[in-house]
Structure 1
Amino acid sequence: MNTTPPTEAQDRPARLTVGVVGAGRVGPALAASLQLAGHRPVAVSGVSDASVRRAAALLPDVPVVCPAEVLRRAELVLLTVPDDALPGLVAGLAETGSVRPGQLLVHTSGRFGTAVLDPATRAGALPLALHPAMTFTGTRVDVQRLAGCSFGVTAPEPLRMAAEALVIEMGGEPEWIEEAARPLYHAALAIGANHLVTLVAQAMELLREAGVGAPDRMLGPLLGAALDNALRSGDAALTGPVARGDAGTVAAHVAELRKHAPQSVAGYLAMARTTADRALAHGLLKPALAEDLLDVLANVGDGTGAGGAPPPGDHPEEGGHPEEGDR
């Protein structure tokens, strides 16, 4: 993607001065994206060496100052700090008189809506919650990835158009989230993205243990297809031994994990139970096979049934030949 600002953005006067409080992976990227749209970053705060380097790379020539000075210089302030630090930061800025009436105060937390900005709102700030549903690297590639990225947006009704305009200027697509729904919204994203990273990293470790020389190359096409199928078809995309009701295979998996990666057993069992429940609810797993599978999962959970043989009561005739099932 070409990151050179369009001619009209370069030639017209900057519309808002932009400041960043918290030069983590998100803030500098959003400010750089706003700069491409014609706004003017004027200040950034960062404490660690990594933050200062990140700010210098994405926002060259923008001075690094304290948070209060960022608010003094900027009309639009991005508060891009960890979720747990945000309430204290906002309260502190309001108590010290750093917030100016009419100042746009934007946080990027997925968990919070605009209520967390209430101390600043009472001081006259205009509160916006703009959460990019994207994983960030802290490099310029993040600016490119914002194109088409959804933002979870919460704002007072009078500021709705302003919030939408800022998201669109960054190349994103606004998705309105009610204040009370923010924690659930954020939990869903954490399951879908953060936990995915953990699962993939764990899968690569296990493949290396099994002797695979390039786990990333092996997993890439498989994971790409699985993600595409899941986004298109939801639970109907489920395949594999749990969805097929292969209780013996699941037991064998757990037995091997106990030997080679015991720390992964709890996660495997939790995901297998959840997968079995969803497959059963959507008619993908036959009840008779589900009963045997859930028995195995209960037994291996307490360490009594992690053998590789199919459990008593298996009904292969109900599931068809193993090669006929989806894998």
Structure 2
Amino acid sequence: MTLGPDPFVPEQRAGRLGIGVVGAGRVGAVLGSALRAVGHAVVGVSAVSEESRERAELMLPGVPVLDVEEVVERAELVLLAVPEDELPGLVNGLAGLGRWQAGQLVVHTAGPQGVAVLAPAAAAGAIPLAIHPAMTFTGTSMDLTRLTGAPFAVTAASPVLPIAQALVVELGGEPVVVAEADRPSYAEAVQRATDAVAAAASQAMDALESLGIADPGPHLTPLLTTALDRTLRRSQ
């Protein structure tokens, strides 16, 4: 497919792709914006809720908001940034409609899933890739800076694994290869760590507030930061 220049892309170089973003949630809008910033053209984005439409307008100005089928039809790389439980039905539904294209890159961001969930797209000749950024997204431009150096779990068949790794590098992240069978355990470990830290911090803040400390954040920040840093350095 032939793409015209994107006026919001600083420099559109040869080899750049037409990106279709399915899901203008916090993750999809940010990753789409990051890919646009390195020269890819975002050719369409799907956004169902009013909040997601506003986010698409803010993070991807000028990109047409389209239905999912049209986004997939236009794109050379389809970024599926939808909730994990919606992913299988979405992929199967598009396969049933004959929307997947041979040679098209199809990338999802669900932590527990590898590329098996994209089998219906692969059966049509698409190239399935799974990436998962290990960070919490706000859905704002602040996330673009935080992508730098962020680890991404990457899963793909060996012949196309370098494509997934290169995509992560373009986003500013650090690709970490995770085997298909290990994705559920990987996602569980990441979620457990996130939940544990959040729960401990919340309980400590409640305790300090009960003692009359109106703003416990400044009291806890250096303690939690130091404790977490010490724990994370265990493997170094």
The answer to whether the Cα contact below 8 Å between 2:102 and 2:125 also exists between their aligned partners in 1 is yes
Whole-Å separation in 2 of the counterparts to 1:199 and 1:73: 46
Paired residue type of 2:167: L
Match of 1:98 in 2: 99
How far off is 1:94 after superposition?
0.7
| Structure 1 Cα separation of the partners of residues 52 and 179 of structure 2 | 32
List alignment gaps of at least 5 residues for structure 1. Answer: 1-7, 235-327
2:34 aligned residue: 33
The structure richer in strand per residue is 2
Partner of 1:51: 52
Looking at structure 2, the residues matched to 9 and 161 of structure 1 have their Cα atoms a distance apart, in angstroms, of: 25
The corresponding residue for 1:169 is 170
Q: Which has the higher contact order (CA 8 A, sep 6+)?
A: 2
* Contact residue 12 and residue 40 of structure 2 kept, 8 A: no
What's the counterpart of residue 137 of structure 1? 138
User: Paired residue for 1:158?
Assistant: 159
Q: Quick one: structure 1 residues 14 and 143, their matched pair in 2 at CA, closer, same or farther if it must change by over 3 Å? A: farther
2:67 counterpart residue number: 66
Q: From the superposition, tell whether residues 62 and 9 of structure 1 become closer, same or farther in structure 2 (CA, over 3 Å).
A: closer
Return the alpha-carbon distance in structure 2 between the equivalents of residues 36 and 181 of structure 1.
32
Distance 1:37 1:213 in 2: 44
- Per-residue CA deviation, residues 224-282 of structure 1 (Å, 9 max, x unaligned), is 01011101137xxxxxxxxxxxxxxxxxxxxxxxxxxxxxxxxxxxxxxxxxxxxxxxx
| Displacement after TM superposition at 1:14 (Å) | 6.3
Q: Contact conserved, 2:135 with 2:150, CA < 8 A, in 1? A: yes
Residue 200 of structure 1: aligned partner: 201
The answer to which of 202-211 and 78-87 deviates more is 202-211
Look up the SS of the partner of 2:120 in the other structure.
Answer: helix
Aligned match of 1:22: 23
Per the TM alignment, residue 206 of structure 1 is displaced from its structure 2 partner at its CA by 2.3
Separation in 2, partners of 1:86, 1:63: 22
Q: How does 1:249-268 map to 2 (within 5 A)?
A: none
Deviation at 1:205, TM superposition (A): 2.0
Confirm or deny: 8 A CA contact 1:14 1:40 kept in the other structure. no
C-alpha distance in 2, partners of 1:210/1:14? 60
Q: 1:38 Cα deviation (Å)?
A: 1.0
Conserved? CA contact 1:25–1:136, under 8 Å: yes
CA distance in 2, matches of 1:157, 1:11: 29
What pairs up with 1:1-327 in 2 under 5 angstroms? 10=11, 12-13=13-14, 15-233=16-234
Residues 52 and 194 of structure 1: is their aligned pair in 2 closer, same or farther, counting only changes over 3 Å? farther
Superposition RMSD in Å: 1.5
Structure 1 counterpart SS, 2:44: strand
Q: Partners in 1 of 2:162 and 2:15 — Cα distance?
A: 19
Runs of 5+ unmatched residues, structure 2: 1-8
| Distance in structure 2 (CA, Å) of the matches to 1:150 and 1:46 | 27
Which amino acid letter does the alignment assign opposite residue 105 of structure 2? L
**Alpha-carbon distance between aligned partners in 1 of 2:19 and 2:80, rounded to the nearest angstrom:** 11
Distance 1:131 1:159 in 2: 16
1:39-80: per-residue Cα shift (whole Å, max 9, x none)? 111100011111011111110010111110100111111100
1: CA distance, partners of 2:12 / 2:19:
18
Mark the CA change 1:11 to 1:107 in structure 2 (over 3 Å): closer, same or farther.
Answer: closer
Larger Rg: 1
* Distance in 2, Cα, partners of 1:152 & 1:193: 16
How much identity, in percent, do the aligned residues show?
52
Counterpart of 1:89, as a letter, is L
SS across alignment from 1:98: coil
Aligned twin of 1:250: none
More helix per residue: 1
